Structure 1
Amino acid sequence: MTTRYETLPLPETYREAFGVEPPEARGERYVKPRKPGFFIRAVAPPPGTPGVQEADAPPGDAPVAPDAHEEPGADAGTAPDTAGESPDAAPRLARELLHAQWGLVPHWVKSASDGRLRAPKLVNARSETVSTATPFREAWLKGQRCIVPMAAFFEDDWRSGKAVPTRIARVDGQPMGAAGLWARWTGPDGEELISYTVLTVNANSHALLHRYQPPGSEKRMPALLNEGAYGAWLSARPEKAREFMRQYPANWLLANPVESKADKGPPGFR
């Protein structure tokens, strides 16, 4: 279970890697439960966009057109580089970057404070049960999928008998996009809280991630998306979305122990 991750150090990376305008403020370098982070969701394209009907809209606040997506199998086995099919290679829905709470707040909670209390337990959603688990079911069925940009995530290495915080990032240093879900809670007085969760997959057999997390526990890892699958993930039908729930190749990841979760990172980003 991932409970801390590192945000992107350079604002322009949001545009280059994910096709969204960067945030005005960089925000916190490290995101932990109940703290604000960023996620990317699909939005309705401008009127007249080629290949998209005017009636089409994105999931949740805006559901997608049935045909406005790529099949996940098209790039599921490609390496994480820009040589393969780009998410911009075909007409796709527009995207936007939102600042929100990490830790999903279901619409049925009674108050914002109640939602914040629940948030630490809802920063991750198990992909195997996401369509039936009460906190996440509605967001999944409504197609409220998102991408969570991250430079790295942290896990504890217990092989020495004590927890050693370890930073896990891509071998090539490029940003990662984790599959997630988002939700909007509205209070009786109009108060609004937007939140998100990161989807996870079983990592017991993963060549790298099986080493981490407490002994005897099930090993989990974020459902990291291939670069060419970003558009497809955001617009896929619910029955197709499960095809993205797979382990990210171990040879594309690099793990480095750190003195603490908050003292190491890219130069110039503090």
Structure 2
Amino acid sequence: MATHYETLHPADTYLEAFGVEPPAAPLDRHLRPRTSGACIVAATEPTSAAAPVDAAPQPPGRVLLPAQWGLVPHWVKSASDAQLRAPKLAHAKADLASTGTAFRDAWFNGQRCIVPMQAFFEDDWRNGKNKPVPTRIARVDGKPMGVAGLWARWQGADGEVIVSYCLLTVNANNHALLHRYGPPGAEKNMPVILNEGAYGAWLSARPEKAKEFMRQYAPQKLTANPVENKADKVPKGWLD
């Protein structure tokens, strides 16, 4: 299950691919849970007010929202508890999104988002050396991916606000490409990659209809490339 993904570069890709202005400050190229990222929400969402006041006007319908990767449910008691939970809530399995305690409020409140990314990374354990090879998964055509997600807004007693998101995943045990990755014997999962024409429908769908978007992405549209490691174990290009 992906715990590392690559953000969009160059910045103008956000407008071209998703119809939103890029972040006011560039995101880290490689994101991991509990770090600052961004997700796309419906422009009518009240949390869009969290965007910088000097940001460029957004096209109607969607807005890019600065947020932390790793969901923080509204009922979390403290910021320290939120930080502990975030890495464990970086993903929500599609079959549990409407029932899991951490995710169900966001699901039924229609707090859906799109997470823009260039690629995500999975570990390949097939070399028999008990040492996984990080592998970059991207679209064959090189275009950005819009991954289905959920977002939440937490506010502490002192007024501190944390806006956060998670990725939605589906089982990939029978996926022609993604079944190869992840620890041996473990359930295989993959992010829910949306088709470009479905972005608006995903953000506006009723909860009972939203489940129809929870499906695998065609394996022939994805490519997987091992990431070569340097001596210090930092894959080439991670710091570009």
TM-score (normalised: structure 2): 0.90
SS in 2 for 1:184: strand
SS in 1 for 2:115: strand
Amino acid at match of 2:143: Q
Q: Find the aligned partners of 2:17 and 2:236 in 1 and give their Cα distance.
A: 23
User: Structure 1 vs Structure 2: percent identity of aligned residues?
Assistant: 67
1:222 aligns with 2:191: yes
Which residue of structure 2 lines up, in the alignment, with residue 171 of structure 1?
140
Which residue of structure 2 lines up, in the alignment, with residue 152 of structure 1?
119
2:149 to 180, 188, 195: 180
Which residue of structure 1 lines up, in the alignment, with residue 158 of structure 2?
189
Q: CA deviation at 1:199?
A: 0.2
Which residue of structure 1 lines up, in the alignment, with residue 52 of structure 2?
none
Greater RCO (CA < 8 Å, at least 6 residues apart):
1
Q: Do the aligned residues in 1 keep the contact of 2:70 with 2:86 (CA within 8 Å)?
A: yes
Q: Do the aligned residues in 2 keep the contact of 1:30 with 1:262 (CA within 8 Å)?
A: no
Q: How does 1:82-161 map to 2 (within 5 A)?
A: 94-161=61-128
Q: Find the aligned partners of 1:95 and 1:264 in 2 and give their Cα distance.
A: 34
Which residue of structure 2 lines up, in the alignment, with residue 255 of structure 1?
224
Q: CA deviation at 1:132?
A: 0.6
Q: Find the aligned partners of 1:264 and 1:26 in 2 and give their Cα distance.
A: 20
Q: How does 1:8-87 map to 2 (within 5 A)?
A: 8-44=8-44, 58=45
Q: Do the aligned residues in 2 keep the contact of 1:93 with 1:231 (CA within 8 Å)?
A: no
Q: Do the aligned residues in 1 keep the contact of 2:173 with 2:187 (CA within 8 Å)?
A: yes
Amino acid at match of 2:8: L
Q: Find the aligned partners of 1:229 and 1:115 in 2 and give their Cα distance.
A: 31
1:211 aligns with 2:180: yes
SS in 1 for 2:208: helix
Amino acid at match of 1:33: P
Q: CA deviation at 1:13?
A: 0.4
Deviation string 1:177-209 (CA, Å, 9 cap, x unpaired) is: 000000000001111000000000000000000
Q: Do the aligned residues in 1 keep the contact of 2:170 with 2:215 (CA within 8 Å)?
A: yes
SS in 1 for 2:72: coil
Q: CA deviation at 1:259?
A: 2.0
Deviation string 1:147-187 (CA, Å, 9 cap, x unpaired) is: 00000000000111230100000001100000000000000
SS in 2 for 1:179: strand
Q: Do the aligned residues in 1 keep the contact of 2:70 with 2:165 (CA within 8 Å)?
A: yes
Q: Do the aligned residues in 2 keep the contact of 1:203 with 1:219 (CA within 8 Å)?
A: yes
Instruction: For structure 1, list consecutive stretches of 5 or more residues without a partner in the other structure.
Output: 45-57, 63-91
Amino acid at match of 1:156: D
SS in 1 for 2:63: strand
Instruction: For structure 2, list consecutive stretches of 5 or more residues without a partner in the other structure.
Output: 49-58
How many residue pairs get aligned? The number is 225
Which residue of structure 2 lines up, in the alignment, with residue 53 of structure 1?
none
Q: CA deviation at 1:226?
A: 0.3
Deviation string 1:17-76 (CA, Å, 9 cap, x unpaired) is: 0000111221101000101111000012xxxxxxxxxxxxx4x759xxxxxxxxxxxxxx
Q: Find the aligned partners of 1:179 and 1:262 in 2 and give their Cα distance.
A: 29
Q: Find the aligned partners of 2:32 and 2:192 in 1 and give their Cα distance.
A: 18
Amino acid at match of 1:19: G
